[in-house]
Chain A
Amino acid sequence: MFESLTQGLTSAFDRIRGTTKFTEQNMRDGLKEVRRALLSADVNLEVADRFIKRVEESALGRDVLKSLRPSEQIVQVVYEELVGLMGPVQPAIPLRRSGPTVLMMCGLQGSGKTTTCGKLAKLLLSQGQHPLLVAADLQRPAAIEQLKTVGAQVGVPVYAEANLNPVQVCAAGIKEAEKTGKNIVILDTAGRLHVDDALMKELESIDKRCNPHQCYLVADALTGQDAVNSAKAFNDALSLDGVILTKLDGDARGGAALSIKDVTGVPIKFVGMGEKLDALEPFRPEGMASRILGMGDVLGLVHKAQQAMDEDEARKAQEKMEKGKFDLSDFYTQLQRVKSMGSFKGMLELMPGMSQMLGDDDDPEGEMGRIEAIISSMTEKERAKPEVIDHSRRRRIAKGSGTEPHEVNKLIKMFEQMRSVMQGMAKMSMMDRVKMMMGMQKTGALQGLAPLKQKERSKRGANISDDDRRKARKAEKQRKKSNRKRHRK
Chain B
Amino acid sequence: MAMGSFFKRLAQGLQKTAASIGGGFRRLLGRRVDQDLLDELETTLITADCGLDATDRIVARVKDAFAQREVTGDLLDFVKKEMRGMLEQGGTALASVDSPPTVIMVCGVNGSGKTTSIAKLATFLSKQGKKVLLGAGDTFRAAAVDQLSTWAERTGSDIVKASPGSDPASVAFDACSAGKSRGADIVIVDTAGRLHTQAPLMKELEKIHRVIGKAIPGAPHEVLLVLDATNGQNAILQAKQFTKSVGCTGIILSKLDGTAKGGAVISIHEQLGLPVKFIGIGEKADDLEVFDPDAFIDALFSSM
CB-based contact B109/A247 at 8 Å: yes
Residues of A within 8 A of B128 (CB): none
Q: How far is the CA of A216 from the CA of B195 in the complex (A)?
A: 24
Inter-chain contacts of A344 with B (CB < 8 A): 199
Instruction: Evaluate contact between A139 and B283: CB separation under 8 angstroms.
Output: yes
Complex: how many Å from CA A234 to CA B148?
29
Q: Given contacts A42-B234, A247-B109, A251-B237, is CB(A364)–CB(B199) below 8 Å?
A: yes
B259 surroundings in chain A (CB, below 8 A): 194-195, 226, 229-230
Q: A220-242 toward B: CB 8 Å interface, digit per residue (1/0)?
A: 10111111011000000000000
CB-based contact B111/A230 at 8 Å: no
Q: Name the A residues within 8 Å of B283 (CB-CB).
A: 109, 139-140
Q: CB-CB contacts of B130-171 with A at 8 A, as 1s and 0s?
A: 000000000011111011011100100000000010000000
Complex Cα distance, B198 from A153, in Å, reads: 23
> Which residue of A45, A147, A193, A252 contacts B257 across the interface (Cβ within 8 Å)?
A193
Q: With A111-B111, A112-B111 as given contacts, are A42 and B233 in contact (CB-CB < 8 Å)? A: yes
Residues of chain A within 8 A (CB-CB) of B195 are 247, 249-251
A145 within 8 A of B: yes
Contact: A345 with B199, CB < 8 Å? yes
Cα–Cα, bound, A42→B109 (Å): 18
A contacts with B: majority SS? loop
Cβ-defined contact, A108 with B49, below 8 A: no
A250-B234 contact, Cβ under 8 Å, with A149-B142, A224-B260:
yes
Known A109-B255, A142-B147; judge A251-B234 contact (CB<8 A). yes
Shortest CB–CB separation between residue B16 and chain A, in angstroms?
Answer: 11
Q: Are B151 and A110 in contact (CB under 8 A)?
A: no
The stretch from B40-48, B74-82, B95-103, B216-224 touching chain A is B40-48
Using known A-B contacts A222-B234, A224-B230, A346-B197, determine if residue A40 contacts B109 with beta carbons closer than 8 Å: no
Binding site secondary structure of chain B: loop
Who on chain B is nearest to A110 by CB? B111
**If the complex has contacts A141-B151, A194-B259, A247-B110, are A146 and B141 also in contact, measured as CB distance less than 8 A?**
yes
B258 touches A230 (CB 8 A): yes
The residue of chain A having its C-beta at the shortest distance from the C-beta of B192 within the complex is: A275
B258 partner, pick from A143, A193, A249, beta carbons under 8 A: A193
What is the distance, in angstroms, from B56's C-beta to the closest C-beta of chain A? 10
Q: How many residues of B contact A (CB 8 A)?
A: 47
The verdict on A150 contacting B142 (CB below 8 Å), with A45-B43, A112-B110 known, is yes
Kindly report which residue of chain B lies nearest to residue A146, judged by CB atoms. B143
Cβ-based interface call for B275 (8 A)? no
Residues of chain B with a CB closer than 8 A to A14's CB = none
Which residues of the other chain, A, contact B235 by a CB distance below 8 angstroms?
A: 222, 224
Does B51 interact with chain A (Cβ within 8 Å)?
A: yes
Would B143 and A223 count as touching, CB distance under 8 A? no
Q: Does A63 sit within 8 A of B, measured CB to CB?
A: no
B275 to chain A, nearest CB (A): 21
Determine if B52 is an interface residue (Cβ-Cβ < 8 Å). Answer: yes
Q: Are B112 and A110 closer than 8 Å at their CB atoms?
A: yes
Check if B231 sits within 8 Å of A108, measured CB to CB.
Answer: no
- Which residues of chain A come closer than 8 Å to B264, judged between CB atoms? 224
CB neighbors of B among A174-233 (8 A): 193-195, 220, 222-227, 229-230
- Separation of A227 and B261 alpha carbons in the complex (Å): 12
Q: Which residues of B contact A147 (CB under 8 A)?
A: 142
**Interface flag for B200 (CB, 8 Å):** yes
A255 CA to B51 CA in the complex, in Å? 13
Partner of B47, one of A40, A45, A109, A251: A45
Which of B43, B49, B142 interacts with A224 by CB under 8 Å? Answer: B49
Whether B109 lies near A250 (C-beta < 8 A) is yes
B109 to A142, Cβ gap below 8 A? no
> Could you tell me the distance in whole angstroms from the C-beta of A338 to the nearest C-beta in chain B?
14
Distance in angstroms from B22 CB to nearest chain A CB is 14
Contact of B48 among A112, A225, A342 (CB under 8 A): A225
Q: Is the CB of B150 within 8 A of A275?
A: no
Give complex CA distance A358, B286 in Å: 44
CB pair A146–B232 under 8 Å, yes or no, is: no
Q: Is A40 a contact of B258 with CB atoms below 8 Å?
A: no
Contact B232 A223 (CB under 8 A): yes
Residue numbers in B under 8 Å from A140 (CB-CB): 147, 283
Residue of A nearest to B240 (CB): A360
Return chain A residues, CB-CB under 8 Å to B49.
Answer: 42, 224-226
CA distance A67 to B27 in the complex (A): 52
- Asked if B113 CB lies within 8 Å of chain A CBs, one says yes
Judge whether A224 and B233 touch: CB under 8 Å.
Answer: yes
Task: Decide: A40 near B233, CB < 8 A? Known: A110-B113, A142-B146, A145-B142.
Answer: yes
Question: What is the chain B residue whose CB lies nearest that of A139?
Answer: B283
Q: Provide the bound-state CA to CA distance between A293 and B95, in Å.
A: 42
Q: Which of A126-180 contact B (CB under 8 A)?
A: 139-143, 145-150, 153
Contact check, A225 vs B196: say whether CB atoms are below 8 A apart.
Answer: no
Chain B, residues 231-255, CB within 8 Å of chain A (1/0): the string is 1111101000000000000000001
Provided the pairs A225-B260, A343-B199 are in contact, do residues A253 and B150 lie with their beta carbons within 8 angstroms? no
- State in angstroms the CA–CA spacing of A250 and B147 once bound together: 25
Q: State whether the Cβ of A313 lies closer than 8 Å to any Cβ in chain B.
A: no
Q: In the bound complex, what is the Cα–Cα distance between A220 and B260 (angstroms)?
A: 14
Checking A112, A150, A220 against B230 with a beta-carbon cut-off of 8 angstroms, the contacting residue is: A220
| A226 CB contacts on chain B under 8 angstroms | 49, 230, 258-261
Specify which chain A residues have a CB less than 8 angstroms from the CB of B234 in the assembled complex: 42, 222, 224, 250-253
Contact A142 B111 (CB under 8 A): no
The answer to whether the Cβ of A489 comes within 8 Å of any Cβ in the partner chain is yes
Give the distance in Å from the alpha carbon of A256 to the alpha carbon of B149 in the complex: 34
Complexed CA–CA distance, A251 and B142 (Å): 24
Q: Judging by beta carbons under 8 Å apart, are B231 and A223 in contact?
A: yes
Q: Which residues of A contact B140 (CB under 8 A)?
A: 275
Q: In the complex, which residues of chain A have a beta carbon less than 8 angstroms from the beta carbon of B146?
A: 141-142, 145-146
How many angstroms between the C-alpha atoms of A225 and B233 in the bound complex? 9
Docked-complex contact A222 and B48, CB < 8 angstroms: no
CB atoms of B110 and A275 under 8 A apart: yes
A36 at the interface (CB under 8 A from B): yes
B197 with A224: CB separation less than 8 A = no
Q: In the complex, what residues of B have CB within 8 A of residue A365's CB?
A: 199-200
Q: For residue A166, give the distance in angstroms from its CB to the closest CB of chain B.
A: 15
A397 in the interface (beta carbon within 8 A): no
A39 and B113 in contact, given A193-B257, A365-B200 (Cβ under 8 angstroms): no
A-B pairs, top 8 by smallest CB distance, nearest first, are: A224-B232, A110-B111, A42-B232, A149-B142, A142-B146, A141-B150, A146-B143, A226-B260
Q: Would you list 8 pairs from A and B whose C-beta atoms are within 8 A, ordered by A residue?
A: A108-B255, A111-B111, A222-B230, A224-B260, A226-B261, A250-B197, A253-B233, A345-B199
Enumerate chain A interface residues (CB-CB to B < 8 A): 36, 39-42, 44-45, 108-112, 114, 139-143, 145-150, 153, 193-195, 220, 222-227, 229-230, 247, 249-253, 255-256, 275, 342-346, 363-365, 489
Having A141-B146, A146-B147, A220-B228, one finds 11 other A-B pairs with CB under 8 Å, namely A36-B52, A110-B110, A142-B143, A142-B144, A145-B146, A150-B142, A223-B230, A224-B49, A226-B230, A247-B109, A251-B196
